[in-house]
């Protein structure tokens, strides 16, 4: 269902139309206008073929089949993510044997809304 919806949206709106109409889903309702503009701008730069490949991968592959990977893992997501909600990320964290880490006041593009919090997670992860 997700695959069909995403590809139909792409066919109907194209990349530019998706960026104009759908980029708002990637940020929380609390996001400021600069964050919204950045996400729209970045989404407008997507490659049609690459986006289609990403949809196929994400919708047709069992991304959890090989979990947990043989390395340290942290699982984090925006607490207000509507695209990959915390409940879905909780399953990934559980399968990896770690606690889910939420980025407060952030949607799917948490790195845009809360860059310091995401940078801190990355710094901590890379320090180990």
CATH code, domain with 113: 3.40.50.1820
Between CA 96 and CA 121 the distance in angstroms is 17
R_g of the chain, CA atoms, integer Å: 16
Q: Which residue range forms the structural domain that includes residue 19? A: 2-127
Q: How high is the pLDDT of residue 67? A: 76
**Which pTM was predicted?**
0.83
Question: Is pLDDT at 128 greater than 80 in this prediction?
Answer: no
Q: What are phi and psi of 23, to 5 degrees?
A: -60, -30
Question: Is pLDDT at 69 greater than 80 in this prediction?
Answer: no
The number of folded domains in the chain is 1
Q: How high is the pLDDT of residue 64? A: 84
């Amino acid at each position: 269902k997700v695959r069909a919806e995403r590809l139909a949206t792409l066919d109907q709106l194209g990349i530019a139309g998706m960026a104009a109409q759908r980029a708002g889903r990637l940020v929380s309702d609390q996001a400021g206008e600069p964050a919204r503009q950045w996400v729209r701008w970045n989404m407008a730069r997507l490659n049609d073929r690459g986006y289609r490949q990403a949809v196929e991968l994400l919708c047709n592959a069992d991304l959890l089949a090989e979990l947990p990977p043989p390395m340290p893992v942290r699982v984090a997501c925006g607490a207000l993510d509507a695209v990959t909600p915390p409940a879905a990320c909780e399953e990934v964290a559980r399968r990896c044997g770690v606690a889910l880490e939420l980025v407060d006041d952030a949607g799917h593009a948490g790195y845009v809304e809360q860059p310091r919090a995401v940078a801190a997670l990355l710094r901590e992860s890379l320090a180990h």
